[in-house]
A and B are shown apart, each in its own frame.
Chain A
């Protein structure tokens, strides 16, 4: 069964450093997402991406975050200058259709980011 794959599975970084998390969405999917989950809390929406541009972003997705689809298969989340509170599990997700079409969203296994 097709899967969303993410790398790295775990990254430790120093505060202030830049981090890039990578994802390969399911191949025929057109909508891509990043979510995060702080330890012990619920999953929170960060951003959605469609047709090579951001479709929607949450309040969490401030100027230190950016997303990119650098080629036909990868989808990346960049955190420009990490803070301690950015420590979380980051999930990439993808779907065939968008908000209006009976959407089914599939998640990757996550990238655990620890900022020290």
Chain B
């Protein structure tokens, strides 16, 4: 099946720093979605990307759909304490309904 490699696994940063994380795959995806998950809760959609090369922002978040359709990155600028959580990339492609999720990037912000 399709696999997504998400990195880094975890990040320890200072409040106010910028954050960057990415996902790569050997498979082509038609849609890339980025979610944030807080402990014990469901994934909350942050950004959806539908076209290769697309760059989309949502407040302090920016994500891009790679031109090869095999990768995506998410940047968070000027991190704040409420950004703490696990960030997942998810791709949909190959004629499949189901999303393939990355293993997540655990973001920890030190005051």
Q: How far is the CA of A44 from the CA of B102 in the complex (A)?
A: 10
Q: How far is the CA of A48 from the CA of B90 in the complex (A)?
A: 16
Q: How far is the CA of A114 from the CA of B98 in the complex (A)?
A: 24
Residues of A within 8 A of B98 (CB): 33, 35, 45, 48, 56, 58
Contact between chains at A42 and B35 (CB < 8 Å): no
Q: Could you say which interface size class chain A belongs to? A: 20 to 34
Contact between chains at B42 and A109 (CB < 8 Å): yes
Interface flag for B92 (CB, 8 Å):
yes
Q: How far is the CA of A114 from the CA of B45 in the complex (A)?
A: 26
Q: Which listed residue, A42, A91, A100, touches B102 by the CB 8 Å rule?
A: A42
Minimal Cβ-Cβ distance residue in B for A50: B97
DSSP class of B's interface residues: helix, strand, loop or mixed? Answer: loop
Contact between chains at A44 and B97 (CB < 8 Å): no
Residues of A within 8 A of B95 (CB): 99
Contact between chains at B42 and A99 (CB < 8 Å): no
- How far is the CB of B4 from the nearest CB of chain A, in Å? 9
Residues of A within 8 A of B25 (CB): none
DSSP class of A's interface residues: helix, strand, loop or mixed? Answer: loop
Residues of B within 8 A of A75 (CB): none
Q: How far is the CA of A110 from the CA of B44 in the complex (A)?
A: 12
| Chain A proximity mask over B22-49: 1 for CB below 8 Å, otherwise 0 | 0000000011010100001111110010
Contact between chains at B31 and A103 (CB < 8 Å): yes
Residues of B at under 8 Å CB distance from A?
A: 30-31, 33, 35, 40-45, 48, 50, 88, 90, 92, 95-104
Besides A33-B98, A43-B101, 16 new A-B residue pairs in contact (Cβ under 8 A), listed by A number: A35-B98, A35-B99, A42-B88, A42-B101, A45-B98, A45-B99, A55-B97, A102-B31, A102-B48, A102-B50, A104-B45, A105-B99, A107-B35, A109-B41, A109-B42, A112-B40
